[in-house]
Amino acid sequence: MILEPQSILFFIFAAILVIAALRVITAHNPVHSALFLVLSFFTAAALWMLLQAEFLAIVLVLVYVGAVMVLFLFVVMMLDLDLEHLRKGFKQFLPLASLVGAVIVAEMAIVLVRGFVGTAAPVQALAPDVAANNTKALGTLLYTTYLFSFEVAGLILLVAIIAAVALTLRHRKDTKTQDIAEQIRTRKEDRVRMVTGMSADTSVKKD
């Protein structure tokens, strides 16, 4: 059996993706983990290109590699992480983590089996003019069939952003923050004082 060039590239990229994903969770240095995660994103984008989903590949590179991963690397490099402290209690939480991981794997397996086993055609065939352009097809599905799910996902992300901002708003003594309301209420009478009636000493003291 002779494999096509596209199939060969798929297996090569898939192997790189699996190895990079394993290194993300096994690397001891967090910077190395972040760099392997960048490699994983690029390889996943290459797989999307092989599947002729150019829009998803470009979004994966621009959003995750260009924005999210740059932020991750910046935070990891700026923070002085105590790796020994992070590794403490690993064995204590290993059973619970294994259980959660097994549940996640089982859920993904159920979704994949229901989606691929016994399915010979798409669940809902698209019009030929829409199916020819994957960007247009994706937009049509998101804003018609999956509009409610798309809005719910956006709402969840909004709540996550608000929660992340709220968690970082800590009033500590060693940090300086701006109080916008206090700045708006500031009057010149409270900041500047005009002093009058003082005599100027113009004499120069000579030795």
pLDDT tens track for 121-174? 555 565 666 556 777 777 888 888 888 988 999 999 899 888 888 877 666 666
CB atoms within 10 A of CB 138: 16
Cα separation, 143 vs 137, in Å, equals: 10
In this prediction, residue 30 carries a pLDDT of 77
In this prediction, residue 139 carries a pLDDT of 81
In this prediction, residue 55 carries a pLDDT of 82
Q: pLDDT over 90 for what percent of the chain?
A: 9
Query: Does the pLDDT of residue 31 top 60, yes or no?
Result: yes
Cα–Cα nearest to 40, from 66, 63, 14: 14
In this prediction, residue 18 carries a pLDDT of 92
In this prediction, residue 151 carries a pLDDT of 92
Show me where the domains of the chain are located. Answer: 1-80, 124-167
Average pLDDT of the chain?
78
Q: Which of 176 and 205 is assigned the larger pLDDT?
A: 176
Q: How confident is the model at residue 86 (pLDDT cuts 50, 70, 90)?
A: low
pLDDT tens track for 174-193? 667 777 888 788 777 777 77
Query: What are the b/e assignments for 57-82, b being 16+ CB within 10 Å?
Result: beebbeebbeeebeebbeebeeeeee
CB atoms within 10 A of CB 93: 10
Q: Average pLDDT of 111-130?
A: 63
Q: How confident is the model at residue 118 (pLDDT cuts 50, 70, 90)?
A: low
Query: Does the pLDDT of residue 115 top 60, yes or no?
Result: yes
Q: Which own/partner pairs from 64-70 qualify as long-range (CB within 8 Å, at least 24 positions apart)?
A: 65/38, 65/41, 69/34, 69/37, 69/38, 69/41
Residues 23/35, Cβ–Cβ less than 8 Å: no
Specify the CATH architecture of the domain 1-80: Up-down Bundle (1.20)
Q: Could you write out the DSSP letters of every residue in the chain?
A: -PPPHHHHHHHHHHHHHHHHHHHHHH-SSHHHHHHHHHHHHHHHHHHHHHTT-HHHHHHIIIIIIIIIHHHHHHHHHHS---HHHHHTTHHHHHHHHHHHHHHHHHHHHHHHHHHHTT--S-SSPPPHHHHT-HHHHHHHHHTTTTHHHHHHHHHHHHHHHHHHHHHH----TT-----HHHHHT--HHHH-----SPPP-------
